[in-house]
Amino acid sequence: MRNAWTFAALLAVLAPTASTLAQSIDGYNPLPNGSPTTLAIQADGRTLIGGVFQMVGSTPTSGLARLNADGSVDTSFATAPINGEVKAVAVQPDGKILIGGGFTAIGASAYHSLARLNANGSLDTGFADPNLNDNVWSIAIQPDGRVLVAGDFTAAGASSRGHLARFTSSGALDGSFPDPQICSTRASSVALQSNGAIVVAGYFAQIGNCSGSTYNFYLARFSPSGVLDTTFPASTPTAFITSMSVGPDDSIYVNDAYPTSDSSSTRPVSKLSANGSLVAGYGDLDQDCCVDSFVLQPNGKVLIGGTFQTLGGQPRHALARLNANGTLDSGFADLHFSLDSTHPNGYIYGLAAQADGNTIAIGNFTLANGQSRQNMARVVGGDAVSSKLTGQASGSSVIMTWTRAGGGPELAQAPTLQYSSNGVNYSAVGTMTRIANGWQFTAPYNVNGTPFYLKASGYTSGGAGNGSPGRIGSPVYVSDRIFANGFE
């Protein structure tokens, strides 16, 4: 039985999931009674949506809901009433869920703009009230579990915190991370580079002494300990930034902040190198309006959603895709998101990609590709998707490689390799290292010894403003002598 099961597991590891269909809208139609503000996808494929809606289909909610893969409401997810808007969601590796926004209470408990829920939606009372004085728009979770938030706030309790703050895994303000003194109305997005550097984007022009002369227009970087990097960015944006994501090579993608080569428009998405210098020519497309969210794919392409109706002179109604070099992907269909039949210009506020390559869009629309869809729709990507976790024996160790290709979500941070002796309970082994087309880690386990299981998982970037990290996992690797020669 064990050999037969292992052979089946081997086939699952080797076989990519694929779709040969053109882009389309499938039957996914949850029917929230208001546009969700943001969304994030869990490693198990279920989707969290946040906002101010009070119903999803016929199910009452309080601004946060979890949806099954078919779009139905997961009724096992029960959250106490949230008294304000949920603007950001982040899924932790242990399944717990951080929410940020404009609320001050969850049920009878005071929680100001940031809280944590257990995997079943109940309030995690072990996470303290951070007592932020204004909205949280973006969340990033560091490998050690500490939580970075960006938003409109200027204080956490009695401590000054100018639009960026860090909290411990128990919700206490991290006093070792200083007040960044970002001078603005908002820091809209926060993300991490592989060396732990913290990249922040928003509406700001000054950092430090707000009456002084330290200028970092709209984009800044801090060391892991919170020290401003005065050499960054190497290319200065000319407009504020509302969406940002870091690629696996530490390149940085931002929306609507850099002009096209003829200065006639801003680029829908610009790509910066790891040091913040503009990648010449990337995304040099005229547009008639704005990008609000984007999804990086393992094939290098970028799916974008927003309020635009044309891109590069071509009709693209709120959704489009860029090639790896930033040109318009003419093979990706215009699915024409519309407010209604008489108002063709619909809006997409947030995107999140599923592991199978399909993408969920949220926004203000009632039609997608001519089909009735109320504020949410799912786009069938039409691209082959491959995800493989393979092992190569190396003495008493095994070199684990996670390769991913095609559509779906790219990883926003280096993934973690996890070990299990029984295939049920897993613990972290270490952080994988970037290689071409994937990630690698040498684990101290002998494939000829006691059988074991390994899997990898990591954060993805998505949601409104790319401020809501989701999770994605690899197939499970099962050790056995069939694997010892490296055939997998």
Tens digit of each residue's pLDDT (9 = 90 or more) over 55-97? 999 999 989 999 999 999 999 999 999 999 999 999 999 999 9
Instruction: Report residue 13's pLDDT band, with 50, 70 and 90 as the boundaries.
Output: very low
pLDDT (average), residues 420-442 = 95
User: Is residue 131 domain-shared with residue 77, that is, in the same domain?
Assistant: yes
Alpha carbon distance 97, 377 (integer Å): 23
**364-380: pLDDT as tens digits:** 999 999 999 999 999 99
Please tell me the total count of domains within the chain: 2
User: Is residue 351 domain-shared with residue 400, that is, in the same domain?
Assistant: no
What pLDDT is stored for residue 60 in this prediction? Answer: 95
Tell which wins on pLDDT, 99 or 20: 99
What pLDDT is stored for residue 396 in this prediction? Answer: 96
Closest CA to 309 of 341, 281, 286: 286
- pLDDT over 70 percentage in the chain: 93
User: Is residue 390 domain-shared with residue 376, that is, in the same domain?
Assistant: no
Is the pLDDT at 124 greater than 90? The verdict is: yes
478: enclosing H helix or E strand: strand 477-478
User: Is residue 265 domain-shared with residue 151, that is, in the same domain?
Assistant: yes
User: Is residue 140 domain-shared with residue 251, that is, in the same domain?
Assistant: yes
Mean per-residue pLDDT of the chain: 92
Alpha carbon distance 385, 140 (integer Å): 26
Tokens of 309: 């109706």
**32-66: pLDDT as tens digits:** 999 999 999 999 999 999 999 999 999 999 899 99
Q: Check residue 14 and report its DSSP letter.
A: H
Query: Does 399 map to a domain?
Result: yes
Query: Does 37 map to a domain?
Result: yes
**157-176: pLDDT as tens digits:** 999 999 999 999 999 999 99
Query: Does 9 map to a domain?
Result: no
Which residues lie below 8 Å from residue 88, measured CB to CB, with a gap of 6+? 38, 50, 98, 99, 100, 101, 136, 137, 138, 139, 149, 463, 464, 467, 468
Helices (H) and strands (E) in the chain, counts: 1, 44
What pLDDT is stored for residue 9 in this prediction? Answer: 37
SS3 100: strand
What pLDDT is stored for residue 212 in this prediction? Answer: 66
User: Is residue 422 domain-shared with residue 359, that is, in the same domain?
Assistant: no
Is the pLDDT at 16 greater than 80? The verdict is: no
User: Is residue 196 domain-shared with residue 95, that is, in the same domain?
Assistant: yes
DSSP assignment of 344-381: ---EEEEEEE-TTS-EEEEEE-SEETTEE-SSEEEEE-
Q: What is the pTM of this model?
A: 0.92
Query: Does 7 map to a domain?
Result: no
| Domain stop point among 329, 345, 380 | 380
HSE value, Cβ hemisphere, 13 Å, CA-based, for 197: 20
Is the pLDDT at 112 greater than 50? The verdict is: yes
User: Is residue 396 domain-shared with residue 375, that is, in the same domain?
Assistant: no
- pLDDT over 90 percentage in the chain: 87
CB-based contact 70:28 (threshold 8 Å): yes
User: Is residue 155 domain-shared with residue 51, that is, in the same domain?
Assistant: yes
**286-344: pLDDT as tens digits:** 999 999 999 999 999 999 999 999 999 999 999 999 999 999 999 999 999 999 988 88
pLDDT (average), residues 135-152 = 97
What pLDDT is stored for residue 15 in this prediction? Answer: 34
| Domain stop point among 380, 412, 434 | 380
Tokens of 268: 């829908």
Query: Does 18 map to a domain?
Result: no
Query: Does 17 map to a domain?
Result: no
Is the pLDDT at 20 greater than 70? The verdict is: no
Query: Does 10 map to a domain?
Result: no
Residue entry with tokens 């009724």: 75
**329-351: pLDDT as tens digits:** 999 999 999 999 888 889 999 99
User: Is residue 409 domain-shared with residue 447, that is, in the same domain?
Assistant: yes
What pLDDT is stored for residue 480 in this prediction? Answer: 73
Q: Which domain holds residue 404?
A: 386-483
Least confident range from 16-25, 128-137, 263-272, 435-444: namely: 16-25
What pLDDT is stored for residue 487 in this prediction? Answer: 37
SS3 6: helix
Q: Where are the alpha helices (DSSP H) in 15-154?
A: none
User: Is residue 328 domain-shared with residue 361, that is, in the same domain?
Assistant: yes
CB-based contact 169:145 (threshold 8 Å): yes
| Domain stop point among 350, 380, 410 | 380
Tell which wins on pLDDT, 159 or 12: 159
292: enclosing H helix or E strand: strand 291-296
User: Is residue 220 domain-shared with residue 77, that is, in the same domain?
Assistant: yes
Is the pLDDT at 208 greater than 90? The verdict is: no
Is the pLDDT at 261 greater than 80? The verdict is: yes
